[in-house]
Every structure is written in structure tokens, then in C-alpha cells.
A and B are shown apart, each in its own frame.
Chain A
Amino acid sequence: MTQDSEDAARLHRNIHSHLPSDPALRVKTLESLMVERGLVAPESIDAWVEAYSEEIGPKRGASVVARAWVDPEFRSRLEADASEAIKDLGVDGNATAHLKALFNTPTQHHLVVCTLCSCYPWSILGMSPAWYKSAEYRARSVREPRKVLAEFGTDLPDDIAVTVWDSTAELRYLVIPERPAGTDEWSEDQLAAIVTRNAMIGTERDLVAEAS
């Protein structure tokens, strides 16, 4: 394709000047054009929405975390090569070809961001939340992660180090939170049910052991 950066900027200025700014209208027009031209069937768009509303979501990542908690052999493989290990659970796919699992410890907390765009491991966490894609999160999480965490209700004492992972290449990151105390007898499914999406991004830390 034409890789002309200045032309791209010129076209963007034209779009800015000539199209209504309402995104709902813009998207509707784009879909109409693609359908009229025979580039996509509307049913396929419905199917993407359904897939990412129902099956492809954070419960996939939660199943990876729960497996890592109960199966030491899986945990080692996840640590060595997360992209390969998650294939056991059939949750690999979009944006997980270079996946790294980050294990929280009593003295180490991990937080994931993409400051330059909004890279996210879709196939295991589903659609990213709006806040993850916000300018506020992208700007602040590298400079003042502890203040950002506090806004999520996660107050970290000074003796816990924070590492912020800025997703600048095609590596994607999955935080493995610590298994809460009092869950020794729990099944893998019970464990998966308490793993939150935010804990796998790193904006939450302590999971609550309340059986569902």
C-alpha cells in the first residue's frame, strides 16, 4: 500500500473537515459502504460482537491464572513460554503470539499499559476497558503508578516494588496475581471465578477469597 505519511495526515484533515464528527454515524456509513461493496457481510460483524461479548473475555485469562495456581508444571511452562502454555486451554489467538506472564509476589507488583496506543492481549482478556485506552491511564501509569493504583482502590506499601510494563512491541503481558489465602481446598473453577480482569492488568492486587 502507499506508505505516505504526509498524505495520511492530509486525508485525516479532510475527514476532520468534511465528515460529521458523531462516531455512530461515521461507523454506520463505513459499514454501509463495506456491505454495499461486498467486502463484508453484516452477519459477520454481528458474530464478532457476539464472540467478544460472550466467549472471548476475561474468564479466559482467569482460567489461565487458576491453572497456574493449581498446577506447578503448567506454571513453569507459563513462566517459560506463555504463548505456548495457554494453548492447553484453547485461549490463544489474537495478540497472544508473544505473551509473557508476570507473577506478582509479596514484594513485587506488576502493572501493564500501552502508552503509545492501547495494545492488549485480546484473545485472553477480551475487549479492553475504556479506561485502559484513556489518555489518563496511558499518560499517568508510567509516571505515577502508585497514584493510579490508589484510584482503583489498590494502596501499595513502600516495601512492595512496582514494575510497569509498557507494551511498546508485539509482546503482550498477563499479570498472574497471588493466590489468596484460605483457598487450598478450592477447585480450579472456583478459583477462576475470583480472578478479575483488573487483577490480570495489574490495577487490582489482592483478590478476595469468597466462594461463589
Chain B
Amino acid sequence: MDGIHDLGGKEGFGPIPIDPTDEPFPNEWEGRMWGLAREQAVPGMTIDYFRHGLERMVPKDYLSFPYFGKWCANYYMLYLQTGVFTEEEILTGKTTRDPNAAPVAKTKDDIIAQNRASAVDFSLPIDDAPLHKVGDNVTTRAHMAARHTRLPAYARNATGRIIAHHGAHVMPDRNVEGHHVGEHLYTVEFAARDLFGESAAAKDTVTLDLWESYFV
């Protein structure tokens, strides 16, 4: 969808808000939200549906909320949608239902091990041979009908060159619809001028990782 999240190349934004203090979690609640997200309990959650949930936020909230504020709104949505919590529970902050078994209190060492074990392999081999190879020119689609897509607006209807083929990876546009299927994934390099015109430097390039069905 052409949502508010698709920010690449949008004009009108000011200076990058560089924070010289640079702490991992400038506010305590941000650290809590990070932990709550890593320990999430949304049944059947996928990374793609999580991202799509963020895309369906109220647009002005999307632009004005801090990063982990967006995550919090999205987890409320996901827990409501899957029936883990009711609207009444979220409004009152109280749950009347019995708890599950007492959860394990993890230590920092447990978390470091869990973090290390959490590298998710998104490759999903398929029988279909790739339609393209490194060195081929490809043109991206002008319009995307999918609810969720990883082809940003700024890179549509543009021609670039394939610089890498990664085999087939889980296809996000279909995964959010509940179809866990693989599709060939490529890294495509575009001349910056082909995306943004003469204001871009002649030598500069932009690369994106794009699935085969993103090409015409």
C-alpha cells in the first residue's frame, strides 16, 4: 500500500536529528518496550505482518510517535486482533482472566544466548528457476496492488541492474496474506539519477533487495 511509512525520497524533512548523547535507550520505557517485543506472545506472528501492522497505524501517529511508541501501538493492535487481550483489558490495564503458568525469569546470559539463537533464515528454496541473472537489466512495476510490499514508491517504474541473486526468500507481499511461499530475491542497483533526476550525483547509486514479481 502507498502508506505513510513509504518515506524514501519524500521531500520536506529537515535536518537529521542526531543525538550526541547516544544511549541505547534514552528513555526507560523504550528499553521496556524492546524487551516486551523480544518476549512477545502474539500467536502466529510474522515479521511481515508486524511491519504491515505498523503501516496501518493512524498516519499522523506514524509520523509523530517515537519508534518504540509505534511498536507499542502495534502490539496493542496485534494482541487485540488475536484475542490475547480485550479492549476492556487494555483500557483498564487489568486482566481478570487467570494467568498462564508462571513464566521463566530469564537472566542476561539467557538473553544473550537467546539473541544468538534468534537469527532467522528467510531463504525458502523453490523449484522454479530464477528468471534473471546477475548483470541483467530489470524494470520495476509502476503500481503495486499488494496490501504490503517491499517495493518502495521511489523505486517503481525504474530500470536497474541485478548485482546479486540470493535464491528464493519468503515473499512478504504474500506472507502477510497468510501464504508462506518463496520467490527469487535479487539485489538491484539503480543509478541515483534514474530514481531522482539530475539533482543526484552522476556516480551515485541506490541498491534495493527486490523479489522477482516486483519486475515487469
**With an 8 A cutoff between CB atoms, is A208 at the interface?**
no
**With an 8 A cutoff between CB atoms, is A41 at the interface?**
yes
Complex Cα distance, B19 from A184, in Å, reads 33
- A2-B82, A167-B209, A168-B151 are contacts. A117–B120 as well, Cβ < 8 Å? no
On chain B, the residues within 8 Å of A32 by CB distance are 93
On chain B, the residues within 8 Å of A116 by CB distance are 5-8, 51, 150, 152
- A49-B31, A168-B151, A170-B169 are contacts. A139–B8 as well, Cβ < 8 Å? yes
- A151-B18, A161-B205 are contacts. A19–B76 as well, Cβ < 8 Å? yes
Tell whether, in the assembled complex, residue A30 and residue B75 are in contact, meaning their CB atoms are under 8 Å apart: yes
Complex Cα distance, B109 from A56, in Å, reads 11
**With an 8 A cutoff between CB atoms, is A74 at the interface?**
no
Tell whether, in the assembled complex, residue A168 and residue B150 are in contact, meaning their CB atoms are under 8 Å apart: yes
A interface size (C-beta, 8 A): 100
Tell whether, in the assembled complex, residue A44 and residue B90 are in contact, meaning their CB atoms are under 8 Å apart: no
Instruction: For A96, give the chain B residue with the smallest CB separation.
Output: B119
Tell whether, in the assembled complex, residue B25 and residue A3 are in contact, meaning their CB atoms are under 8 Å apart: no
Tell whether, in the assembled complex, residue B76 and residue A145 are in contact, meaning their CB atoms are under 8 Å apart: no
Select B103's contact among A39, A53, A140, beta carbons within 8 Å.
Answer: A39
For the complex of A and B, list the 9 residue pairs with the smallest distance between their C-beta atoms, beginning with the closest: A115-B8, A38-B99, A45-B35, A48-B35, A169-B209, A1-B44, A23-B69, A43-B105, A161-B203
Q: List 30 A-B contacts (CB under 8 A).
A: A4-B81, A8-B53, A8-B56, A15-B76, A21-B61, A23-B69, A26-B76, A27-B72, A28-B32, A33-B90, A45-B31, A53-B25, A53-B31, A57-B24, A93-B115, A94-B119, A116-B6, A116-B150, A122-B115, A129-B22, A130-B19, A140-B16, A143-B195, A143-B196, A143-B199, A167-B209, A168-B208, A169-B166, A169-B211, A170-B120
